[in-house]
Amino acid sequence: MQRGDQLVDAILVSVDKRDFKTHPHQWSTIVDFGEEHPTIFRPQFKHGDGDARQNAICWENLVQSLNSMGFGFRSVEKWKMAVGRWKSKVKAKAAQLRIESQKLVVDV
């Protein structure tokens, strides 16, 4: 096998391993579910009060709902990672907007 063929095979494998892009309907479902069950967005170490099992059940229900929409399948762990990345982006954007608004107040 030549080097070019190996490169093409490596690219195809990496494309196959990538998750699908989360559909807007799925994000809407995640937000709605999170409003009804806010504990799913809490960090794991804050489940010392015994609601870790309930949280796991909520995640299983949410993932079942998301996967049944027909846009692709992810495991509970993959969905948790996707939501974690989304939360991180939202927090970063909120911090950026807060800094920009403070600059406007100082400049005035």
User: pLDDT confidence of 18, banded at 50, 70, 90?
Assistant: low
Q: Per residue in 79-94, pLDDT tens? A: 999 999 999 999 999 9
Please name the helix (run of DSSP H) or strand (run of DSSP E) that holds residue 18, with its range, or none.
none
Which residue, among 23, 60, 22, has the nearest Cα to 40 in the 3D structure?
Answer: 60
Q: Per residue in 23-82, pLDDT tens? A: 999 999 999 999 999 888 887 665 555 678 888 999 999 999 999 999 999 999 999 999
pLDDT exceeds 80 at position 17: no
What single-letter amino acid sits at 11?
I
Question: What's the pTM value of the predicted model, to 2 decimals?
Answer: 0.71
Q: What angle do CA 16, 19, 25 make, to 5 degrees?
A: 140
pLDDT exceeds 60 at position 11: no
